[in-house]
Chain A
Amino acid sequence: MNFPRQNDRNEPLRNAEETLRLIAALPAPDGLAGRVQAKLRTAPRASSLWRPFALAPNGWMYNPVLRGAAAAAIVCLVAGGGWRIYSHIQQEPIGPAAIAPARIGTGGGFSSANAISKPDTLNGPVLTHAVVPKAQSPAPADEAVPPVAHANKGAKASAHKKKTAGPAQ
């Protein structure tokens, strides 16, 4: 292919292109075709069945079939290892599902946490003087005393009697 000429500014460019042309026109080494023919004659002619498994000239890494097989082997190893780990894990038996109590008043907010609401005690009216209950019927003076006080009084009196009388024996 001929290079299109632009202008004289490209004199160095022409020199550079001349270098490329020089390389492109290099004579081939003597006997190149013969060596290639000899290489082709000695090339292994394996059957097409085994050809994919033949080693590439640069090593097995450059054979696409073997590279694919190696990749598949790695995938199998990883998958097998993962399955082995997975199959050794004992999973806990799943119990019956717990039925949660139905929520009352689910408003979506916080619960009361079992707190009991107590209303504030109102201050009642304060008595300024003692209230004496009106007697409905006249009663003896002793009965006006509360029965507990009367009983105590009786106990004290009996104890006083015992003290003054001394031992009976």
Chain B
Amino acid sequence: MSATLTLPWMEIAKSAVHDEARQHAKEQALADLVAEYATTLYRVAFSVLRNAADAEDAVQEAFLRVLRHRDRLEEVRDHRVWLVRIVWNIVLDRKRRAKTRPETDDVAELARVLPATGLSAEERAAAAQHHARVLTMVDTLPAKEREVLVLSAFEELSSVEIAGVLGITESSVRSRLFRARNLMADLLERPRSLR
């Protein structure tokens, strides 16, 4: 018959091991989040900032915030919506603070970033011009409608998830999207001289 003897220092050692294991598990969970959602967050950030370096900075800042709140990771129900919401707030904040970049910067960045397989240099430049013009029109939309329109372009986000990111109801998402599309159609119908 063997009796187990538990001494206080053994308890401390056990709890320390337990804490270390828990810490390791948290770090592993964070690494998994980075591997799974970094690309999505980068796209969301780029759709607002339209600059690769700024978008990557925003993604890093988002995960740094997650690192600070890693103790509450278990409480989060939908990690994707939560992370998109974090990076969305970061990029909106940066967009407000940043000085307005000239449109030529957007065109050059889009020509560099967007896929242009099979296009000549001239066609690529023309496509970049078109994309930049569309984005300029999107910028003229009211903020609420613009945000919904930009987020609705993401195939991986449903209207419910967009509502979760923006903190509004799904019906609000749909009505704002309807208004945004009407406004965009009006802008596109106008002659270019009136824009």
Contacts and interface: CB of A to CB of B under 8 A. Distances in A.
B185 A24 contact: no
Contact of A13 (B34, B43, B181): B181
Interface stretch (B2-10, B12-20, B72-80, B147-155): B147-155
Tell me what chain B mostly uses at the interface: helix, strand, loop, or mixed. Answer: helix
B134 A57 contact: no
Given A13-B184, A22-B114, 12 more contacts: A3-B152, A16-B134, A17-B153, A19-B130, A20-B138, A23-B135, A24-B47, A26-B42, A28-B42, A32-B38, A35-B60, A36-B59
Given A16-B137, A32-B59, A57-B64, A23 B47 contact: yes
A57 B138 CA distance: 30
Interface string A37-48: 101100100000
Tell me what chain A mostly uses at the interface: helix, strand, loop, or mixed. Answer: helix
B35 interface: yes
Contacts, number: 107
23 contacts: A1-B154, A6-B181, A10-B181, A13-B181, A16-B134, A17-B153, A19-B131, A20-B47, A21-B155, A23-B47, A23-B114, A24-B155, A25-B155, A28-B39, A29-B42, A32-B39, A32-B42, A32-B56, A32-B59, A33-B39, A35-B56, A40-B30, A51-B68
A45 to B, nearest CB: 8
Contact of A1 (B46, B113, B152): B152
Nearest to A57: B61
Given A19-B131, A40-B30, A1 B67 contact: no
Interface of A: 1-3, 6, 9-10, 12-13, 15-17, 19-29, 32-33, 35-37, 39-40, 43, 51, 57
Interface residues of B, number: 45
A10 B185 contact: yes
A39 B60 CA distance: 7
